[in-house]
Copies of this chain bind each other. A is one copy, B any other.
Amino acid sequence: MARIALDAMGGDFAPRAPLSGALQALRESDSDLAIQLVGRTGTISAELDSLLKGELAADAKQRDRIEIVEAPEVIEMSDKPSAVVRGKPNNSMSIGLKLQLESRSDAFVSAGNTGAQMAASAMLLKLHPGLTRPAIATAFPTRRQPVVVLDAGANVDCSARELLQFAWLGAVYAECVLGRSNPAVGLLSIGEEAEKGNAVVKEANAAFATAGFNFVGNVEGRDIPHGECARGPIDVVVCDGFVGNVVLKFYEGVMPMVLEVLQQHGIDRSQLKDVIRTFDASEYGGAPLLGVRGISMICHGNSTPRAIANAVKAAARAADSGMNALIGERLTSMANAALAAGSVA
């Protein structure tokens, strides 16, 4: 039984998109899913009533799996992330995350201000021992199975030591949540050779080589959509949050462009339906903020109900898999192995 706290006030289409998404997730899940809608009780109740009396009337039977949790303050997209937790202590993100601290909830999902979600998650849930920064992990569709790229935007200027932490997090996530055995970790660079890359990447390459995970060496941009590099399949690609965010958004922009060109060349949109689905970010269920002691799933601000529903279900899978405890355990053993090997100070 996973209990998922959902930020009812977060995202461009809140509260309607989160509420519709919640009902959709409940409809598509066994009875072992419950949702806490966090935000202004009055707003949520009114919107939920309207949905259940209107277009989603068939979902009325899901109502008793929904709890509404009051959070009177709302985070705006313009709010400064670092100031939000103290400045608006009763915002829907903080209240939603605190449910995990009280063991009342198993995971938190939001489509609101990403910076604020990162800051609130790190401050309230805290980080696993040995970590200095959390990282956003994103699944990229590839020719093979999806590849986890991290960091996708939480950290812009990263040290080699931080990239090493991301590698650990990605490897543990790929193993525990995606079920990849002995996941292959690549370091994103501009050439396969260890001496290629910028100063931080070159330093990271040396640290990765003795860090105790399955490091396949540097990978290049083209290896991500291929899902493999010259040395075999890849499960995890590590980069700083600047590069990761640029590539992620580039990917999101390429597909509409390609589809437009295809249609210009006379290929009918109906033929492309399954293809669009393959590359649709909303099918991939949000991006976990890894490294925090708990589960915090980040959704796009423009998330549709479908995207929210998938994120809620992904959060439930993460909770059911015991991801958080597993990450903690594996991080400790990896950090110990790396210390023993002398690859970190």
Which residues of A in the span 210-265 have a Cβ within 8 Å of any Cβ on B?
220-226, 239-243, 245-258, 260-262, 265
Choose from B156, B225, B246 the contact partner of A253 (Cβ within 8 Å).
B225
- Residues of the B chain whose Cβ atoms lie less than 8 Å from the Cβ of A257: 142-143, 225-226
Are A271 and B266 in touch, CB under 8 angstroms? yes
A104 nearest CB across to chain B (Å): 34
Are B265 and A274 in touch, CB under 8 angstroms? yes
A217 nearest CB across to chain B (Å): 15
Are A188 and B246 in touch, CB under 8 angstroms? yes
Are B243 and A246 in touch, CB under 8 angstroms? yes
Are A246 and B267 in touch, CB under 8 angstroms? no
Are A222 and B198 in touch, CB under 8 angstroms? no
Are B275 and A242 in touch, CB under 8 angstroms? no
Are B260 and A267 in touch, CB under 8 angstroms? no
Q: Is residue A288 contacting chain B, with contact meaning CB distance below 8 A?
A: no
Q: Is residue A45 contacting chain B, with contact meaning CB distance below 8 A?
A: no
C-alpha spacing A249/B265, complex, angstroms: 25
- Residues of the B chain whose Cβ atoms lie less than 8 Å from the Cβ of A256: 225-226
Number of A interface residues at 8 Å Cβ cutoff, please give it. 50
Are A190 and B225 in touch, CB under 8 angstroms? no
C-alpha spacing A257/B261, complex, angstroms: 16
- Residues of the B chain whose Cβ atoms lie less than 8 Å from the Cβ of A197: 156, 242
C-alpha spacing A258/B255, complex, angstroms: 9
C-alpha spacing A67/B61, complex, angstroms: 83
Are A241 and B190 in touch, CB under 8 angstroms? yes
Query: Quick one: CB contact mask for A177-203 with B, threshold 8 Å, 1 for yes?
Result: 000000000001110000001110100
- Residues of the B chain whose Cβ atoms lie less than 8 Å from the Cβ of A242: 189-190, 197-198, 201, 243
Choose from B153, B253, B266 the contact partner of A226 (Cβ within 8 Å).
B253
Q: Is residue A278 contacting chain B, with contact meaning CB distance below 8 A?
A: yes
Q: A221-B252, A222-B253, A239-B246 are in contact. List 12 more A-B contacts (CB 8 A).
A: A197-B242, A198-B242, A221-B248, A221-B251, A224-B250, A226-B257, A250-B250, A262-B262, A265-B271, A265-B272, A265-B275, A267-B271
15 A-B pairs with C-beta separation under 8 A: A190-B245, A190-B249, A198-B240, A220-B249, A221-B245, A221-B251, A222-B249, A222-B250, A225-B256, A226-B256, A239-B246, A246-B246, A247-B250, A254-B254, A262-B272
